[in-house]
Structure 1
Amino acid sequence: MRSTYRVQLRPGFGFAETAAIVDYLSDLGVGALYTSPILTPTPGSTHGYDVVDPTRANPELGGEAGRRALVDRLRAAGLDLVVDIVPNHMAVEVPSTNKWWWDVLAHGPESRYAGYFDIESFPVLLPVLGSDEDVSELRVDGDVLRYYDHTFPIAPGTGEGDAVDVHDRQHYRLIDWRRAGQELNYRRFFDVTTLAGVRVEVPEVFDATHGEVLRWVSEGDVQGLRIDHPDGLADPGGYVRRLAERARCWIVVEKILEPGEDLPASWPVAGTTGYDALREVCGVFVDQSAEEAFTKLADSLEVPTDYAAVLDESRRLITSQSLATEVRRIASHVSDVDPAAAREAVAELMVSFPVYRSYLPEGVEYLTAALARARSQRPDLGEALAAIDTQLRAGGELATRLQQTSGMVVAKGTEDTAFYRYTRFAALNEVGGDPSHFGVSVAEFHTAQAHREANHPLAMTALSTHDTKRSEDVRARMAVLAELPDEFGDAVHRWTAQRGIPEPSLNLLAWQTLLGAWPINPDRLSAYLDKAAKESKIRTSWTEHDEEFEETVRAWPRAVLGDPGLLAEVKAFAARITPFGWSNSLGQKLLQLAGPGIPDVYQGTELWDLSLVDPDNRRPVDFADRADLVSKLATGWPPPIDETGAVKLHLVRTVLRLRHERPSLFTGYAPVYATGSAAHHVVAFERSGLIAVATRLPVALPGWGDTVLDLPDGEWVDQLTGRATDGRLADTLADYPVALLVRGA
């Protein structure tokens, strides 16, 4: 595996359309096509994570014939295939499309599939009604029960009489959707009730859910697997060991590592999907000296600046509301403790986790740390926490359930709540990041890369994914603001006085987003801010709406863009920071592509891409335009640094093709340093006869002057320009803010 290119398949862009871009990917130098899930999902799915039938390729993408044709095209071009798979859950939103779930609803605990799903008890509670009184709206239609567009099976011999009576005889109960957070009795994906947890730890279930994908692997159609959300599984370690034994291919896991955390040593995988690399690579372009200025700015706008407090508040909100049913279920397994105290202790323990989850007996130090913090926060729960501690270390159901759920609390509390409340400097608010850690020093960056090369040299690295809060190029431009904290602060105060959003955290996020994603049309920005407001759960939420506030938020982009004076100021500020953002974008892309690990390029990001959180980052990509530019680059055209982004494509193509042609260059790791007046503006490393050089903190860079890179002996030639260099950065970086040097080229 050399590199991957992630493509989001969907109805309208299926196997045939993907096959049509294989030549482009090959010309780009890509090693493997990396797809979103391609098993059969809910009809019309635009992402594929809502699988309803894991035994066949998605017919809306072209089905088995289309899949085979794509594989043939990839083989002819010499590209591998990496497939995203979803072991944790299946979609149950439309029961009739999921034959296993339908059978469970029809036959209850007697269904042959009852053990496939993680169901606590029967009847299964299905939160689909507008209110509990809506049960009167049910009607019997032959052998099914209908509620508007929803259809449910009727158990054999129970269909006679009034619809309400028929409903009461079933192995399920339709309830008010608002009751899900407190009462649901099946495990789900986070708080998404339409995705039911699957018991993949059961061998029969593993075989049923993985048989088709493993057939693809065994027949040589698939060379790599990306595992979605392993933290939700009962036994992630056991799962990846079984999968690795059966698949014997390259495997990476979507595991969020906190700074300093490592994957369990017993997992036979290449590594993670790369959020840890994202934090390191993007962070080294942030000016750490700006932290105090941004803290003062946030304080002056009444935006919270105590990250630990925001995190605690956000996680407690999740345990008490959207995931309260999971807390209740875990607490029910705590022995000899008052039920109310058990629930509070379980919630406090999950709030206190320093990582997403522990993998007992590995990672016991994280459990110990969580217990210590929970005891310090709630000494009144000492007896309950002691009982939980004893039971956890003994293993069993309590240990399994708590480990499965801690990651849900951390993810929902951190990524989907705290990151929208703690908006001091939003470039740091990324999956796998720590917004309280203001950037990454050059020394920390080098240490992290050397660690990856030594421990997980084949792990995936990423800068943008389908789940990132904002694209790599938005973050790169926002990083420029850390070099202009006073100018930005003055502008935000001035603009807020004119057109502020009446919620401080969202207001500060909105101005950063407007500049980071500029130019952006009002519809895209409005959709993003509406989502951000609901995720923060401060003035409104997905379940408890403040319609007046939501309308204010949705109207904000047009109000700002319709104010001539304010619009002129925003345009001028964006124009000032854009060239520096381009420099940061090129720098971080080079460090990712040339550094340790297997780099992934998310669809479209080989040009400038100013996307925000999904679904904005899943918009269609103009591959024809990119293919035309690659053809132009093949003629030797040296692209300028401009709004087309052709220079980024030139960088991506150069590095990926070099990875393909000379893979031996991309081994080993050693920092390379510079001397001179601007030495702190460069970050560079050597691999094996290759040196990557990137400019950092470009705003304050007056020029390279006497700064010289300490090159090892030999003749070094920049692959981006074709020029030899003796290490003087004024010459080496005369055309581009990055250089890719190869010895003896």
Structure 2
Amino acid sequence: MTDPNRQRDIDIPVSTYRLQFNKHFTFADATHIVGYLRRLGISHCYVSPYLKARPGSTHGYDIVDHSELNPEIGSREDFERFIAELQRNGMGLITDIVPNHMAVMGSDNIWWLDVLENGQASCYASFFDIDWCPVKKTLQDKILLPVLGDHYGNILEQRELKLAFDAGQGEFSVYYHQHRFPADPQTYLLILGSQDEQLLNYFAADDPVLLEYQTIDNSFSKLPLCTDKSEEKIEERKRDKEVFKKQLAKLCADSPALVAYIDSRVEKINRVAGEGGELHALLEQQVYRLAYWRVAGDEINYRRFFDINELAGLRIEDEKVFAATHELILSLIAEGRIQGLRIDHADGLYDPVAYYQHLNDKIAAVLNDGAGQPPIYIVAEKIVANYEYLSNNWPIHGTTGYEFANIVNGVFIDSGAEKPLTHCYARFIEYRQDFDELVYQAKRLVMTTSLASELNVLANHLGKIADASSKTRDYTLYALRNALSEVIACFPVYRTYINSYSVSKEDSQYIKWAVDQGKQRSWAADKTVFEFIRQLLLLEHNPVVADGELLRFVMKFQQYTPQVMAKGYEDTALYRYNRLISLNEVGGDPRGFGNSLNTFHHFNQSRLKKWPHTMLCLSTHDTKRSADVRARINVLTEIPQQWQEAVLRWQRLNRFRKTKMNKIVIARNDEYLFYQVLIGTWPLTHLSDAGWGDYQQRIRAYMIKAIREAKQYSSWLNPNEEYEQAVTQFVCRCLDPNVSILFLKDFTGFEKRIRKHGLYNALAQVVLLLTSPGVPDIYQGNECWQFTLVDPDNRRPVDFNKNNRILTEMETDLAKPDLDRPRFIGSLLENIEDGRIKLFVIMQTLGFRHRYAGLFKNGDYLKINVYGARADRLLAFARQDRDNFVVVVVPRLNDFNSGAEDAGTDSWLELPHKAPRRYRELFSQCRVRAEAAEDCLRLFVSEPLQLFPFAILSGVIE
């Protein structure tokens, strides 16, 4: 019998590999590459959601059924074969789960359809975060469904809404293209027309079918109302409506004449369009109101995933919702199919910390574990600002690693170039941008457009609290809404995590800062409203309002600020500020221009102390540019003057490529973005005509997405076709070898000169990823060069057959007993563009990490000082435990005069005097010896770094 107090050994991954499932990459495809991943050095497959999603989903985050696997990805048998192959290779599975939201609309989410049919009397009404009592009276007890392509009245008149009868199920629905809207069974009497004289054309007055039909009609009308929320009434309605539907279906099955009559009724209802028609009257009686999609930003009354109408927020804090959405996942954990979880969009939850704790408790229960926290490997998708710390009270292993990606990226940026690149940017676009002001305005923009309805809900809630006290009831709804928007626009982090009346020091500081900043920016005549908001957000005592009401407001506020930050900062500001786009990353901050070596070391030491097993990443399915793209763009910081000369020259060369579409040409800011995108993505090898066409299409698609996200000249809400056409034609002409001969010749010459330096940056950051404290993750395909942009570009298929072939050839070469190692790695360096060198670095380093798994899992991290001619161009640290001492050295900030290969010349490392004297370098296999100095050992790195520009030196115990 299992000891209930025993704590399991947590399966901490050595390394993970992210796979994106969809109908083009299935369980069977993943099974086929498991062996390849194991040989690469991966311990756990880390996969995108695979529960049943909307048909055609490319990502799996639009789940419609938590109780089934996605049939487009494979059957349960396919899944079991995948699991069996993982286990046969000694590997585990980390699953991405989506607790925050579900896909709605369409016709495939049975929970949502049940709510549309039964309103608050649905047993699933509490599953979704719906405001049934909005301020707008016409929406009381209704759900606004903004799905129509035009105004409701126009759609109605154009007969695009169609009533339909399912005789087999005995039910009615209204359809709009792929969307199904069930009719409230209580309103069937408006359709059935049991007293209609036309029935006598189909039946005799005493026909038993007619009499039973009239009885059914009457039965539907007596169902409990959609607003009846008592458990007794909900159960009664649920039971009786299905009984009556089955009676109607049976009657139809036995009577073709009845089906013909009902079909005639449906045809008549559909034929008469407009406000005076029966269809409009029927829709007016439903628990939903169909609306033009553009009204969503102002009036939608269900919580969404950001501003996506088709993704509705779940009330996962409700135990019934938690149980229904996690049952299958928990069973897979209990069966040993899953060894870890990634929690998507943690900041969207009502109470993230409580959710993690509840999840841990449930997992511990199914595993029959004791009090181990957490019982399996768990990471949360969470963006942490560079001045923010993840609270230690979160019962998880860490985040998915955005903060690591940004701290590493900064190491390869020359901070001394900030001033000249800022000048270059301002000169090119002909104005100066203040990023703080830009962020503020971007957040205000999304709060007045796509996220206005959520702000209205918060403001109305705030208004009710204010009205409860004689001291605050004079604050108008307008004043409260404006003050609230100012505070949110100034909020410095994604959210706070207040879930009780104990407010942390950090949360208090963020709130006070935001309120103070909002107050300073406000033009309000009465600024005391800001003090009122501050008191509420800090849960300071209010004798009039119930304490629970204050806490509920604060927790709803905390669900809103991440949406504004994500849409305003990430998806607007970062697309407007193009000074150096390698800094414009998820979790990044363009104001932080580069990181010092000490910053990197402090970050690693802190992470090892607080979150030793957090995930590390460089690229993900959500990053705006792959790590390899960022690495190439970072080189521009090392040559700011050359970059300025080049980009201004290209602007002159391409001035005639700017087609004037009604006097509209590509904006200078977008043109500046375009040139950086080319630097980061330019193909390393000659492309065929088809390959070149694909590259052009990728850049065109990216530029359109970027300008829509920026929301200056076009947007997703209001696409500006003329501007987008002008941008598209500019891109096409610049990339047409027959049109832009001079530009392409000049550009390719510039890119070729800096290419190797960018690739060295990319390799160096991979070495840091695989040796730093934490669990390194490789995003699919990134074991070779990947110069991809934001999704969907970064979710394109990976040629695993090609990568496997390269790995096999490399394994064969390395296994040769007579291998000339220096010549082999020299060949990799000489042919750096083919990508084999990156695969070599990864397979060698991950193999090393597996051999020294204990060291990398629990070993210390030591900053290593570098001295000599190029000390500031080398980053070095050591990993140490009782039995092992490993030194990692990578180059940074390439010396354009000497070349990256010479980065180690005349430089040495200062090692602890108790460190080993002799070392073997992993990549080149050369041996070096440290020399004794006064209070340390001195290890010259010129020899290993001349053979290979990166070094992992393992101490040899004498």
Which amino acid in 2 is paired with 1:543? L
Does the 8 A contact of 1:290 with 1:482 survive in 2?
A: yes
Which amino acid in 2 is paired with 1:151? R
User: Scaled by the length of structure 1, what TM-score is found?
Assistant: 0.98
* Counterpart position of 1:204: 320
* Counterpart position of 1:10: 22
Does the 8 A contact of 2:653 with 2:742 survive in 1?
A: no
Does the 8 A contact of 1:244 with 1:251 survive in 2?
A: no
Alpha-carbon distance between aligned partners in 2 of 1:282 and 1:149, rounded to the nearest angstrom: 44
Q: Identify unmatched segments of 5+ residues in structure 2.
A: 1-12, 133-140, 166-171, 192-268, 270-277, 364-374, 467-474, 540-549, 656-664, 684-691, 815-823, 930-938
Does the 8 A contact of 1:304 with 1:505 survive in 2?
A: no
Which amino acid in 2 is paired with 1:471? S
Give the CA deviation at 1:84: 0.4
Alpha-carbon distance between aligned partners in 2 of 1:223 and 1:382, rounded to the nearest angstrom: 53
Give the CA deviation at 1:379: 6.2
Give the CA deviation at 1:56: 1.4
* Counterpart position of 2:673: 509
Alpha-carbon distance between aligned partners in 2 of 1:250 and 1:41, rounded to the nearest angstrom: 25
Q: Is 2:175 the counterpart of 1:175? A: no
* Counterpart position of 2:198: none
Q: Is 2:416 the counterpart of 1:387? A: no
Give deviations 1:321-370, integer Å, cap 9, x for gaps.
11111110111111223111111111111111111001113323211221
Alpha-carbon distance between aligned partners in 1 of 2:92 and 2:111, rounded to the nearest angstrom: 32
Alpha-carbon distance between aligned partners in 2 of 1:87 and 1:400, rounded to the nearest angstrom: 17
Give deviations 1:203-233, integer Å, cap 9, x for gaps.
1101111111111111111111000101111
* Counterpart position of 2:893: 697
Alpha-carbon distance between aligned partners in 2 of 1:146 and 1:627, rounded to the nearest angstrom: 48
Give deviations 1:230-263, integer Å, cap 9, x for gaps.
1111101100111122222111000000003111
Give the CA deviation at 1:724: 1.2
* Counterpart position of 2:582: 427
Q: Is 2:472 the counterpart of 1:472? A: no
2:636 aligned to 481, 486, 490, which one? 481
Alpha-carbon distance between aligned partners in 1 of 2:431 and 2:442, rounded to the nearest angstrom: 15
Give the CA deviation at 1:373: 1.4
Which amino acid in 2 is paired with 1:671? K
Which amino acid in 2 is paired with 1:104? V
Give deviations 1:546-566, integer Å, cap 9, x for gaps.
111100112222211221110
After TM superposition, the structure 1 = structure 2 runs for residues 315-354 of structure 1, keeping only pairs within 5 Å, are 315-334=443-462, 335-336=465-466, 337-354=475-492
Q: Is 2:873 the counterpart of 1:681? A: yes
Alpha-carbon distance between aligned partners in 2 of 1:173 and 1:701, rounded to the nearest angstrom: 68
Give the CA deviation at 1:303: 5.2
* Counterpart position of 1:237: 353
* Counterpart position of 2:922: 719
Size of the aligned set, in residue pairs, is 744
SS at match of 1:656: helix
Does the 8 A contact of 1:515 with 1:573 survive in 2?
A: no
Does the 8 A contact of 1:526 with 1:556 survive in 2?
A: no
Alpha-carbon distance between aligned partners in 1 of 2:48 and 2:302, rounded to the nearest angstrom: 26
Farther-moved stretch of structure 1 (420-429 vs 149-158): 149-158
After TM superposition, the structure 1 = structure 2 runs for residues 30-49 of structure 1, keeping only pairs within 5 Å, are 30-49=42-61
* Counterpart position of 1:102: 113
SS at match of 2:952: strand
1:293 aligned to 415, 420, 437, which one? 420
Q: Is 2:398 the counterpart of 1:281? A: no
2:795 aligned to 601, 609, 618, which one? 618
Farther-moved stretch of structure 1 (17-26 vs 64-73): 64-73
1:117 aligned to 106, 115, 128, which one? 128
* Counterpart position of 2:860: 668
Which amino acid in 2 is paired with 1:414? Y
* Counterpart position of 1:130: 149
Which amino acid in 2 is paired with 1:544? N
Give the CA deviation at 1:383: 2.6
* Counterpart position of 1:402: 557
Q: Is 2:909 the counterpart of 1:709? A: yes
Give the CA deviation at 1:701: 6.0
**RMSD of aligned residue pairs (Cα, Å):** 1.4
Alpha-carbon distance between aligned partners in 1 of 2:928 and 2:630, rounded to the nearest angstrom: 31
* Counterpart position of 2:184: 155
Give the CA deviation at 1:475: 0.3
2:682 aligned to 488, 509, 518, which one? 518
2:705 aligned to 508, 531, 536, which one? 531
2:90 aligned to 63, 66, 78, which one? 78
Alpha-carbon distance between aligned partners in 1 of 2:951 and 2:828, rounded to the nearest angstrom: 14
Q: Is 2:76 the counterpart of 1:64? A: yes
After TM superposition, the structure 1 = structure 2 runs for residues 240-279 of structure 1, keeping only pairs within 5 Å, are 240-247=356-363, 248-279=375-406
Does the 8 A contact of 1:303 with 1:504 survive in 2?
A: no
Alpha-carbon distance between aligned partners in 1 of 2:897 and 2:339, rounded to the nearest angstrom: 45
Give deviations 1:22-59, integer Å, cap 9, x for gaps.
00000011010000001110011010000000111111
Alpha-carbon distance between aligned partners in 2 of 1:634 and 1:232, rounded to the nearest angstrom: 45
User: Scaled by the length of structure 2, what TM-score is found?
Assistant: 0.76
SS at match of 1:226: strand
Give deviations 1:35-90, integer Å, cap 9, x for gaps.
00011100110100000001111111113222111111101100010000111000
The sequence identity of aligned pairs, in percent, is 39
Does the 8 A contact of 2:511 with 2:538 survive in 1?
A: no
Alpha-carbon distance between aligned partners in 2 of 1:618 and 1:378, rounded to the nearest angstrom: 43
Does the 8 A contact of 2:666 with 2:730 survive in 1?
A: no
In our comparison, the structure showing a higher alpha carbon Rg is 2
Which amino acid in 2 is paired with 1:502? I
Does the 8 A contact of 2:50 with 2:69 survive in 1?
A: yes
Does the 8 A contact of 1:304 with 1:422 survive in 2?
A: no
Alpha-carbon distance between aligned partners in 1 of 2:360 and 2:860, rounded to the nearest angstrom: 26
Alpha-carbon distance between aligned partners in 1 of 2:77 and 2:682, rounded to the nearest angstrom: 42
Alpha-carbon distance between aligned partners in 1 of 2:746 and 2:897, rounded to the nearest angstrom: 24
After TM superposition, the structure 1 = structure 2 runs for residues 480-629 of structure 1, keeping only pairs within 5 Å, are 480-499=635-654, 502-519=666-683, 521-562=695-736, 563-629=740-806
Which amino acid in 2 is paired with 1:514? L
Alpha-carbon distance between aligned partners in 2 of 1:157 and 1:661, rounded to the nearest angstrom: 68
Does the 8 A contact of 1:480 with 1:699 survive in 2?
A: no
Give deviations 1:529-577, integer Å, cap 9, x for gaps.
0000000001110111211110011222221122111011111111111
Does the 8 A contact of 2:874 with 2:889 survive in 1?
A: yes
Give the CA deviation at 1:656: 1.3
Runs of 4+ with >6 A deviation: none
Give the CA deviation at 1:93: 3.3
Alpha-carbon distance between aligned partners in 2 of 1:555 and 1:460, rounded to the nearest angstrom: 42
Give the CA deviation at 1:738: 1.0
Alpha-carbon distance between aligned partners in 2 of 1:725 and 1:246, rounded to the nearest angstrom: 52
SS at match of 2:833: coil
Which amino acid in 1 is paired with 2:125? A
Give the CA deviation at 1:145: 0.3
Alpha-carbon distance between aligned partners in 1 of 2:296 and 2:849, rounded to the nearest angstrom: 49
Alpha-carbon distance between aligned partners in 2 of 1:554 and 1:615, rounded to the nearest angstrom: 18
After TM superposition, the structure 1 = structure 2 runs for residues 640-655 of structure 1, keeping only pairs within 5 Å, are 640-641=828-829, 642-655=832-845
Does the 8 A contact of 1:280 with 1:445 survive in 2?
A: yes
SS at match of 2:105: coil
Give the CA deviation at 1:425: 0.6
Alpha-carbon distance between aligned partners in 2 of 1:735 and 1:537, rounded to the nearest angstrom: 49
Does the 8 A contact of 1:200 with 1:206 survive in 2?
A: yes
